[in-house]
Structure 1
């Protein structure tokens, strides 16, 4: 129980005793009714969520029972429904490592500084020696590229977002700002501009556990970046091929194509556990397609990154399916 409530509850108990005593002269029915009313008030004070509770009541206001993850933190919303589309948060909104979810902000800053219209490939980018040397890292996610290789901006974004290439993310930072450090300053300014007050970026790839955020902050970023047609088209691709990069490049987001999922970005590491920023579409009760966005963080943190990733994917799928089921009941005038 919240210790701040103890004095209030004790005071209410005193009121119950006084009410019981004063009611004896008015008859048993009045006494019972008065005591019952005051007991109900006490129980309300006892069970009312304390400030900072992990459950946001917004989803309950829709009579929606969402399959929130039992651990970590999560946030979700449905675009186009106003306040009723805000499904709230689950879990303490305290900054935690976010691993490769970081690359969403990297892509956002790159596309803000170097926008691409639909169908555009963008300027050519030359693979530098550092990115090539980091191609075959055994300790982080990387993409095999060669020094001097020339790729378009869109191709490089695909190599960062689809297989989650850390070496590509850092190379994009150098290409845009001259150094990763200068680019990180851009990332943090962008976060402040988006109202992400509990977010700190310390690298472009998410490798550093000092890059931290909350699910509610990352949901703000998801809303903004999904307005970019180029970004949407890239994160929706289950695979891609890039000249000079061997084989078919598979998307780490295995939920694509299931439960209406059209994106977005995975992340996993030992300190971060599993993370997923996701986007899905679903019809409401009128048959209108709605965009659903969500973020799940810190799943099975401090364990095996593979286990964390699997937990983030499976828990996100359960959440998406629950939101889709609720959304199917929403018709005009009820949301």
Structure 2
């Protein structure tokens, strides 16, 4: 039976509308991220453009089961993010931002030593303070900016961090405001700085945020050269070793350790990796390892777990299956 002519157009419109809704539903399904999508303030999901698992997704990669981790390959993006993405204490990783703010306000070119800075009484007095990582300095001694950055980043002197903060801004409190502005400018929305050294448990961040900072500072050749240095000589105290014992192994060329009982062990690392016919830099942040134990135990865990992660990723990136 035929429908009356007046009703035919309405039926056609209804069918057309239904088909449009179905089509739209398919489009939404394809492009709208589901509840499991990665949303890390700009860190992309660990997937290749073709939809295959990224290089860091294989079962042969030993991601730390503790704390949180994030890794990126320069020029290629995120290789993965693991663990809870909540701010945790970062201990001496704080000094990476301290160095970044100093080098931003007082830039050095490769080979430059910078202005000479006098050690004040407070920095000298803090050498005797227990429970902190400090560098032996004497009031009235003068060090170049480059020397103090070395003492900040290699043996990780808390007293040096606060000395640099006072030299730059007059007080540590004023310097912290600069640190917070720098973090905001880098999009580190889950980071809070409350001191220049990291001794405060209220200085917190995430692996994703620290990875953002690592990518920024490793573009500075002076910073990059310092964090690749294995030992530095402290006048009157002799040579001291870099706390990052992975340097020179597994392609590691930096970055910075941080450890305390509340923070556990933390490591920002940078390494070189061969991908096809190119040498690229891979950067990672491994945070909150064995928190609640001792600073030494946490740091050993951060170093060991980072080494396993680096070796797994380097092997996978170098294999033919990681190409394309």
Same fold (TM over 0.5): yes
Q: Post-superposition, which runs of at least 4 consecutive aligned residues in structure 1 deviate over 4 A?
A: 48-54
Counterpart mapping for 1:9-88 below 5 A = 50=36, 57-58=46-47, 61-62=53-54, 64-65=57-58, 66-81=61-76, 85-88=77-80
Counterpart residue number, 2:22 = none
Counterpart mapping for 1:197-212 below 5 A = 197-212=189-204
Shift of 1:139: 0.9
Residues 288-329 of structure 1 deviation map (CA, whole Å, 9 limit, x = unaligned): 111010000000001111110000000000111111111112
2:162 counterpart of 1:173: no
Question: 58-67 or 300-309: which moved more?
Answer: 58-67
RMSD: 2.1
2:89 counterpart of 1:97: yes
> Which SS does the other structure have where 1:256 is aligned?
coil
Measured in 2, the distance between the counterparts of 1:77 and 1:176 equals 32
Shift of 1:283: 1.0
> Which SS does the other structure have where 2:285 is aligned?
strand
TM-score for both structures, normalised by structure 1: 0.80
Counterpart residue number, 2:186 = 194
2:278 counterpart of 1:278: no
Counterpart residue number, 1:148 = 140
Measured in 2, the distance between the counterparts of 1:159 and 1:57 equals 36
Measured in 2, the distance between the counterparts of 1:189 and 1:148 equals 32
Report the number of matched residues: 282
Is the CA contact 2:71–2:284 (under 8 Å) kept in the aligned structure 1?
yes
CA distance 1:330–1:80, change in 2 (3 Å): farther
2:274 counterpart of 1:289: no
TM-score for both structures, normalised by structure 2: 0.83
Counterpart residue number, 1:262 = 253
Measured in 2, the distance between the counterparts of 1:315 and 1:135 equals 31
**Which residue among 295, 298, 314 is the counterpart of 1:308?**
298
CA distance 1:80–1:57, change in 2 (3 Å): closer
Is the CA contact 1:77–1:294 (under 8 Å) kept in the aligned structure 2?
yes
Shift of 1:74: 0.3
> Which SS does the other structure have where 2:103 is aligned?
helix
Measured in 1, the distance between the counterparts of 2:89 and 2:155 equals 20
Counterpart mapping for 1:193-272 below 5 A = 193-242=185-234, 244-272=235-263
Shift of 1:331: 8.7
Residues 39-65 of structure 1 deviation map (CA, whole Å, 9 limit, x = unaligned): xxxxxxxxx9746799x6438722542
Residues 134-176 of structure 1 deviation map (CA, whole Å, 9 limit, x = unaligned): 0122211000000000110000000010000000000000000
CA distance 1:331–1:175, change in 2 (3 Å): farther
> Which SS does the other structure have where 1:146 is aligned?
coil
